Amino acid sequence: MNWNGVIHKYRHYLPFADDVQIVTLNEGNTPLIKADRLAELIAPKANLQLYLKYEGLNPTGSFKDRGMTAAMTQAVHEGANGVICASTGNTAASAAAYAARAGLRCLVLVPEGKIALGKLAASLAYGAEVLSIDGSFDDGLDMVREIVKRQPIVLVNSINPWRIEGQKTGSFEIVDQLDGRSPDWHCLPVGNAGNITAYWMGYKQYDKGRPRILGGQASGSAPIVTGKIVAHPETIATAIRIGNPARWRQALEALDESGGIITAVSDDDILASWKLLAKTEGIFVEPASATGVAALKQQIEMGAIDPNGKTAVCVLTGHGLKDPETAVNQTAPPRTLPATIEALEKHLTGG
Ligand code: AN7
């Protein structure tokens, strides 16, 4: 079957006018991968049914494309000339791509030196005006919130409700891929809290069972866990280096209504899960994307989640190639070898 993107597929659940021109890169339809080896490692002998929703396989390499197709479609429908966002990187790359496709001007504000290389490369390649600010993501978000009050430019951060509308299709796909039921646990990283908001909205709307939501924040950037704005958030998972989430209240609602949990995981635990995903399942994600797995592992170990016979979905939000620098820094360098058969044979046989 030909796949034409999430708006085409789930139009019936989205509040678009009949005559919108859809801006799409055929996003969505990402695989839900059963991860038996990883399940056995994080919950030995528990018959945990663990699935990984590999959102890094979207057109710009992250989950943001689901919401961006919707936000850009609506922006074009409303006659916008340009769009703007603040970003830790993935929103920037996605906005840049969809704006290019729509023929719109695109401005992205990113925290200087704190955006992974693949995200910067993509945003530049798509032709966005990349503005590097000497502040955090949160500072950038304050700036774009203010500028859209003064200038006719459309904000495409996840405070734009169309971002959430498009993003919620992730829940619909998971339910469809699980043959019409929802998992017991839905695990994901939480940064600005758009994704957690959207998934919960999607499960409720689709009405085929409701999971409990498990959100993971990096311990150096965990405002929702601590209940306090973090003025200077830090984490190796730069995607979720956010101290004052825009959808904080909705995240708390999702946790409350679902009987969920929000927890902080250390950078070491994030990196340990990042390695496990790559080495036991062959799935290379950016560090932030391993936070849902790290949170699940932690909660099972603490006894707060009983894995026995349960179904859990972890959303892997972004591709590993987004952050090649961290990958290279966190692994041993390649061994150098003379270009001879003798040297190769010696290596192969343990010489
Ligand atoms: C890989 O790109 O906020 O809780 O500006 O890139 O919905 O913010 C990215 C967030 C998780 C957190 N995983 O999602 C941005 C940005 C990855 C991400 C999150 C982000 P939200």
State the pLDDT at residue 49: 98
| 1 has pLDDT over 90 | no
User: Model confidence over 36-47: pLDDT tens digits?
Assistant: 999 999 999 999
Closest residue by CA, ligand 1 atom 9: 239
What is the token pair recorded at 340? 């001879």
Closest residue by CA, ligand 1 atom 10: 239
Confidence of residue 260 (pLDDT cuts 50, 70, 90): very high
CA distances, 53 to each of 73, 138, 326 (Å): 25, 28, 22
HSE-CB at 223 with a 13 A cutoff on CA atoms is 23
User: Model confidence over 90-99: pLDDT tens digits?
Assistant: 999 999 999 9
254 Cα: distance to centroid of ligand 1 (angstroms): 17
Our mutation pick for probing the ligand 1 site, out of 60, 62, 108, counting the most ligand atoms within 8 A of Cβ, is 62
User: Model confidence over 211-220: pLDDT tens digits?
Assistant: 999 999 999 9
Average pLDDT of 250-270? Answer: 98
State the pLDDT at residue 158: 97
| 351 has pLDDT over 90 | no
| 272 has pLDDT over 80 | yes
Q: What is the average pLDDT value for the chain, to the nearest integer?
A: 98
Average pLDDT of 73-80? Answer: 98
State the pLDDT at residue 16: 98
User: Model confidence over 81-116: pLDDT tens digits?
Assistant: 999 999 999 999 999 999 999 999 999 999 999 999
| 256 has pLDDT over 80 | yes
pTM, two decimal places: 0.97
Strand ranges inside 55-173, DSSP E: 82-86, 105-111, 129-133, 154-155
DSSP designation for 321: G
202 Cα: distance to centroid of ligand 1 (angstroms): 18
> In 10 A of CB 46, how many CB atoms?
16
Residues within a 6 A CB radius of ligand 1 = 62, 87-91, 158, 189-196, 239-240, 286, 288-289, 317-318
Confidence of residue 279 (pLDDT cuts 50, 70, 90): very high
Average pLDDT of 15-26? Answer: 98
State the pLDDT at residue 140: 98
